[in-house]
Amino acid sequence: MPADWASLVAICAACHGPLGHSANPQVPSLAGQPKLFVENQLVLIREGLRVVPEMKGLLDGVDDATIIELAKYFSQQKPPAAAATPRDAASFERGKAIASRTHCGSCHLPDFRGQQQVPRVAGQHEQFLLATMKQLRDHPGPGRDTIMAASLRGLTDRDLADVAHFLAHSD
């Protein structure tokens, strides 16, 4: 581990929360994400291929070995639990049906825990999930998954809200 490991993890925790459990509904939790997914995203951000304004410059000078260790650290943390907010049964069931119809579980796995380069979406913040799906559907860009853009094509904002609600309330 690099000498400044604790400060680097603290920088991540400032937004993504202690142990990678974000308290901010607009920021994803990193805890329990697949290691390869985190590695890929950090490299894309560091190289400027994925633009995340809030992270600009934070990965400057961070070498690949450190990125691998960060990814390993966050992947080994306990994933976030399902949302504690009240579950709307109708929205949850609509989202579940849409996720089934669009085969979300094919890549994200049936329990939505993610795999390899595919993120864990179960238990993520509903607001973050909705914003991310809208961005992928409406404004795919560098560093974003084109398969997701195609998968979300034709879904309405209401459909995306229902899927986000379902995933946020899934373990």
Residuewise pLDDT in 10s, the chain (171 residues): 555 878 888 999 999 999 999 999 999 999 999 999 999 999 999 998 888 889 988 999 999 999 999 999 999 999 999 999 999 999 999 999 999 999 999 999 999 999 999 999 999 999 999 999 999 999 877 666 788 988 999 999 999 999 999 999 998
Q: What angle do CA 37, 39, 45 make, to 5 degrees?
A: 100
pLDDT value of residue 15:
94
In degrees and rounded to multiples of 5, residue 116 shows phi and psi of 45, -115
DSSP-based three-state secondary structure for 115: strand
Would you state the structure tokens that stand for residue 169, as one six-digit string? Answer: 């309330």
Residues 6+ apart with CB under 8 A from 18: none
Closest CA to 120 of 51, 34, 56, 21: 34
pLDDT of residue 86: 95
DSSP state of 118: B
Q: What distance in Å separates the CA atoms of residue 171 and residue 121, rounded to the nearest whole number? A: 9
What CATH number belongs to 5-75? 1.10.760.10
Nearest-angstrom CA–CA distance, 83 and 9: 24
Domain parsing of the chain, residue ranges: 5-75, 89-168
* pLDDT for the residue numbered 2: 55
Identical fold between 5-75 and 89-168: yes
Beta-bridge mates of residue 118 = 115
Residues that constitute the known binding site for heme c: 12, 15-16, 55, 104, 107-108, 148
Binding site, residues?
Answer: 12, 15-16, 55, 104, 107-108, 148
Positive or negative: CA dihedral 77, 79, 81, 87: positive
pLDDT of residue 142: 65
What's residue 14's pLDDT?
Answer: 94
Q: Which two tokens stand for residue 121?
A: 């979406």
Instruction: Assign domain 89-168 one CATH number from 3.30.1180.10, 1.10.760.10, 3.60.15.10, 2.10.69.10.
Output: 1.10.760.10
